Amino acid sequence: LKVLVKPRVRSQVEYMTSASAALAHALRVSQWAKLGIAQNTSARSGARAIVHALGVTTVSWRSCSLQLAEPCEFPRGRGRRCRAVPSSPPVGASAHSFMKKLNIPFQGGHLAGHSAKHIWLRRLHQERAAIVDLVEPPLPLGSPASSPCGQSDELVLDNLEARSCLEPPKLSISLTKLDGTRQAFASLHGELLQVGADAEGIEKDILRVHCVLKSKGAFESESEKLWYWIDMYMRRDGDLAREAHGEGADALAVLDSRLFGIWGILLEDIPRASLLRWEHEPDLLSDAIKVGSLKQFLYGESRFPILSNQARKSVRSLNLPVIEKRRQLAIERETQNAAMREYLAEQEKLMSEGRGGTSGKKARIWMRWVQDMAAKIEDLRSGAWTPVGKGSSALRSLRSEVSLAPELLAIITCQTLLNLIYLPVYRRKNNYRHNDFNQHSDPIRSRDGRVPFVTAVVTVGDAVALENSWRTIVGERKFPAKRLPAMGGRMPDHIQKTMSVPLGAALVDLLLDVAMVEVDHDSVPSEELEEIAAARGDLRPPSSLRIAVPAFKHGKELAGKKTVGYIELRDCARPQLDFNDLDVAALAATKFQPMVIQPLPWRPSSEKAESPYMLHESPFIRTKNPHVTCLRVYTPERVARVMDGLGRTPWRVNSWILEQMDRVRELDLGIAEVPPKHDPDIPSLDLPDTASEAEQQGLRIRHHNAQKRCRELQSERPTFELKLRVARDFLSAPRLYFPHNVDFRGRAYPLPPHLNHISDDICRGLLTFADPKPLGKEGFFWLKVSLANLLGKNKISFAERVALVDEHKDRIIDVAKDPLSKENIKFWASADDGPWQALARCKELAEVWASDDQEGFMSGMPIHLDGSCNGLQHYAALGRDEWGAKAVNLTPSDRPQDVYSIVLDIVKVKVEKQAGTFDDDDASTESGVKNMSAKQKAQRLIELGVLQRKVVKQTIMTICYGVTTIGAQQQVLGQLEDMVGDRVEQDELKVLATFLSKLVLKSIDEVFERAMQIKVWFDQVSKILNAWERPTNWMSPIGLACVQPYKKSRTVQVVTKRQKVTLMDDDGPKVDKIKQKMGFPPNFIHSLDATHMMLVAESCQREGITFAGVHDSFWTHASDAHKLNPIIREAFVDLHGRPLLEELYKDMSLHLGGQEKLPPLPQQGSLDLSLVRESTYIFN
């Protein structure tokens, strides 16, 4: 059976149908079940399976024929148009017998259902592409005689057929314009998804494009004309259609849409050398392997179309704004459905290589779960399995609630659950350390390898519901393009938890049933064997050394007074999965990436709200309850413009720092927050009976600390990998932008989560300003101050800091040359406030010193000006507190004041007083650390030498933000663990932390008396509002409506197979009075520091100064630091020059409507705010 398109005969093509057409129709007439093939099998795999099911014994590429094992007769009947011209029949079969075998409508030698040759071609060419490789010879490359336009007996296309199949894509937005709303870009994304769905037809389309371009002479003059046409195409030049005679312009549009929609390659990125190759290699832009090589050359290691430095040299820059827009759209599209693409690519690779599941333990384990789980879902939907008993209603929801393919449901479930188990940092916003102090409050989340059952169920259900909604609305295109709703990452309003949770529960239950791993029998504890055997029967024949056990187990335990269910990965299953750091990082597909164009302007409160991304939707205010943002009734226009300005600050990745991080990881040095590759050894608790109490105590401490470190590393490794992966993706980008939004208090946060300047030292060290400025004399001064600050020398004058850096000049230069020598590591890796940032400044200072023109040196290194305990600065200004203002540098002084040392001195006096007194009532005759007297505790603190500045620093920093007694205990405990945790047991540390934290809080009250009076007034106001069930809310000085979103939860129960799931709805009708009261003081202060930052940002935008803000830390170029300092002071005076407390009093009174009178405002002190303008060290 042969496909034959004869050589060109002017404007006509004679052709004949064959196995290719028959198979293509078989894919459309639902013959899958008859041939025993799954309905969701891909077109290419399905075609091959059909051929084998029909008994094909040989495939001859030379004669283009298929030989069938069983020839059969074919009844003739009436025919229609689109005649199938017969050719010499193959041995043993005919087209008639082939089509009869498939039961395809075929009458009188004609294919039924088509009316015209070219209509048939257009409808068939995509489907034929799926099977053309089975019935047509592969095209030899590099030979003009065998090209699609050559004269041969293989597949040949003339201009007529090429034109009939190369209609320009009908897209809602032109790929060379890209102007529109986010809804329009969502429509464009859906249309490109349809283009991408025909990935197997791209070869035919691009071969036709090649034919048309060659016939138009585009490859003449070493492809100079084609390059010129691409230039005109990107400029939307109307002369292109005239010069390329119409068809050439259409061919470029088709080529662009196919490359962009399927391969993620930008047409303008293809270098001239590749265009020259394409003339003689027609499949250069369609063959997957060759396209992959081209992408590797163009984009290097990046997952996104960002030109590598090597490729940038060989690509002609068109310097058009639309180029970077196209790049940005491609990046946003690439972040969609990452897990699905990776899985399908892995499956296709394994299938094509015939290796099954041999590509690694990860693929071999959870891909098998996907297959088993998909089979059970298919049985459930077909009626082969009917669930009964507990949880059956949730399982039955899989039949009607979602239309997603079983494999897709299984993929979402597997990856979501593994993500939750292996990335605990993304289940918890707070730092993962110091969680042992109050462990009973959350016993499940504090453990590695576990996830609460409710969390798993809700997360899986939400993911499935969102995917189902996206596929339904955008994928199937049930609405016109202009009416497509915006479908970013937000859960649509019509999807309720009561619908998604049963889906999640059913899928999680199925996964727990099918997720099996094979392990050594001896590796499974005997009690687990008994438990598994009771649930599933005997798992091991008597002679077997390996058994299959469930990978996960479901259990319950007490969390306070409640019984909480959890899912845990079995210890014996963990080595089988063997997830390395890169595997775990790949599981967490992020939605928001840095942008390569300036973010689009925010439109936060219009009916058609717009966000900074082209395709992604993002909220302007971060909150779980969008309706409390009040954006429907007012416009925070001023705040939105500030966020636009922050997002337009350009950044780039520091390649030298990235290289050093890779070296530290490869050498496994375990320094500067780079996690080591291996967990520390956990010492056994077995000791001989003769061991002393001190030896037993030391062993217990080492055992506890090793376990704790192992838990921390489980989170730190994948988090570190995620940061480095994003840095590598954007390493070659000349500019990066971080769009910002705000929380309900007005604090600004970048949207990209893994790499941004607000994150930890690793991220900050990786980033530098993209547009350097001449250093100048002032800049050189501030660059040295910045390094001294990072080394922890920020409590001396600026002149002393500069002198300190000059003193270590030789060491700094040596560090820049060889940062990983033992002596140099000691210098920079121990920097108190950021080792990687310190190393980056050492490198730049060494380059400045080596420069012939130091003042003209182009510096992009950010300089930080940080507030001196900024929360207490705002409290001191609100209360006009002279003593407090002096302690936090609001008033002028020769040297920076250290509020932490001031409070520490008071704490030392209290401790020494306790240690030197004796009270009979305080004495205790009972032994044990819990019965220590105050004198004993004080003496123990002095003996251990822990009365240091860092012990009190965190509590002082957070006192104005509402730190509680328990919170202060935890903070002090964390510091004590770091200092003496290796020689003092945990129980004694907790007792000492409780005692010391109380003294710290009392000392703070003495220093900041007026601040504490204001805090008490805040508590009284929130108590009154709570009585009226009103959330505490106020207008920030910059015009943002701040509403505390704390409400009491409502509960809804869903019965599942394994347990009841209680859903907590955070948006109940009543306010959470405790959270409202505790949150008001810190949230109001946060709204003030956010306002201050925005005022500074506005001034910098007017002055043309590059600005970035991290709450109370303001960044700019070294050359502009001397300009930023007075701007900060002036903005602070302007802010607190307003009667802020009086305005708040009137606002609250208005809310109460005169129904209740507020308590009078606390009395203010006599601080002269104008002194702030003279304070050198307010932000130092």
pLDDT tens-digit series, residues 627-661:
677 777 788 889 999 999 999 999 999 999 999 99
- pLDDT grade for 541, boundaries at 50, 70 and 90: very low
At 319-337, the pLDDT tens digits run 788 899 999 999 988 886 5
Please state, in angstroms and rounded to a whole number, the distance separating the CA atoms of residues 779 and 104: 79
At 55-69, the pLDDT tens digits run 443 333 333 333 333
Contact 25, 102 (CB under 8 A): yes
Does position 24 have pLDDT exceeding 90, yes or no?
no
The rounded percent of the chain whose pLDDT value lies above 70 is: 71
Beta bridge mates, 556 = 565
At 871-897, the pLDDT tens digits run 888 988 999 988 888 888 899 988 888
Higher pLDDT, 4 or 981: 981
Average pLDDT over residues 493-508: 71
Measured on CA atoms in the order 1080, 1085, 1091, 1094, is the torsion positive or negative? negative
Residue among 342, 166, 344 at smallest CA distance from 248: 166
Average pLDDT over residues 681-703: 79
At 1124-1170, the pLDDT tens digits run 999 999 999 999 999 999 999 998 888 888 777 889 999 888 889 99
Biggest alpha carbon–alpha carbon distance for the chain? 115
Q: What pLDDT sits at residue 472? A: 62
Does position 13 have pLDDT exceeding 90, yes or no?
no
At 37-52, the pLDDT tens digits run 444 444 444 455 554 5
Q: What pLDDT sits at residue 90? A: 34
Q: b/e map of 966-991 (b: 16 or more CB within 10 Å)?
A: ebbbbbbbbbbbebbbeebebebbbb
Tokens of 80: 């229609």
Q: What pLDDT sits at residue 1128? A: 94
Please state, in angstroms and rounded to a whole number, the distance separating the CA atoms of residues 500 and 886: 56
- pLDDT grade for 54, boundaries at 50, 70 and 90: very low
Tokens of 44: 């290419």
Q: What pLDDT sits at residue 595? A: 94
Please state, in angstroms and rounded to a whole number, the distance separating the CA atoms of residues 290 and 279: 14
Q: What pLDDT sits at residue 198? A: 61
- pLDDT grade for 868, boundaries at 50, 70 and 90: confident
Residue among 897, 998, 990 at smallest CA distance from 955: 998
The rounded percent of the chain whose pLDDT value lies above 90 is: 22
Q: Which position has the token pair 């479930």?
A: 413
Contact 801, 789 (CB under 8 A): yes
Radius of gyration of the chain (CA): 35
DSSP helix/strand/coil, 83: strand
Does position 147 have pLDDT exceeding 50, yes or no?
no
Q: What pLDDT sits at residue 840? A: 95
Q: What pLDDT sits at residue 977? A: 82
Q: What pLDDT sits at residue 605? A: 75
Please state, in angstroms and rounded to a whole number, the distance separating the CA atoms of residues 136 and 1025: 78
DSSP helix/strand/coil, 450: strand
Q: What pLDDT sits at residue 975? A: 85
Q: What pLDDT sits at residue 73? A: 35
Contact 926, 965 (CB under 8 A): no
DSSP helix/strand/coil, 1043: strand
Q: How far is Cα of residue 431 from the mean position of the Cα atoms in its chain?
A: 18
Does position 547 have pLDDT exceeding 90, yes or no?
no
0.85 surpassed by pTM? no
Residue among 722, 700, 702, 720 at smallest CA distance from 712: 720
Does position 189 have pLDDT exceeding 60, yes or no?
yes
Does position 1047 have pLDDT exceeding 60, yes or no?
yes
Q: Which position has the token pair 């047991």?
A: 985
Torsion of CA 550, 703, 971, 1001, to 10 degrees: 130
Average pLDDT over residues 1055-1062: 57
Contact 863, 840 (CB under 8 A): no
Does position 563 have pLDDT exceeding 50, yes or no?
yes
Q: What pLDDT sits at residue 386? A: 78
Catalytic residues: 866, 953, 1112
Q: Length of the chain in residues, anyone? A: 1180
Does position 149 have pLDDT exceeding 80, yes or no?
no
Does position 357 have pLDDT exceeding 80, yes or no?
no
Residue among 964, 992, 995, 963 at smallest CA distance from 979: 992
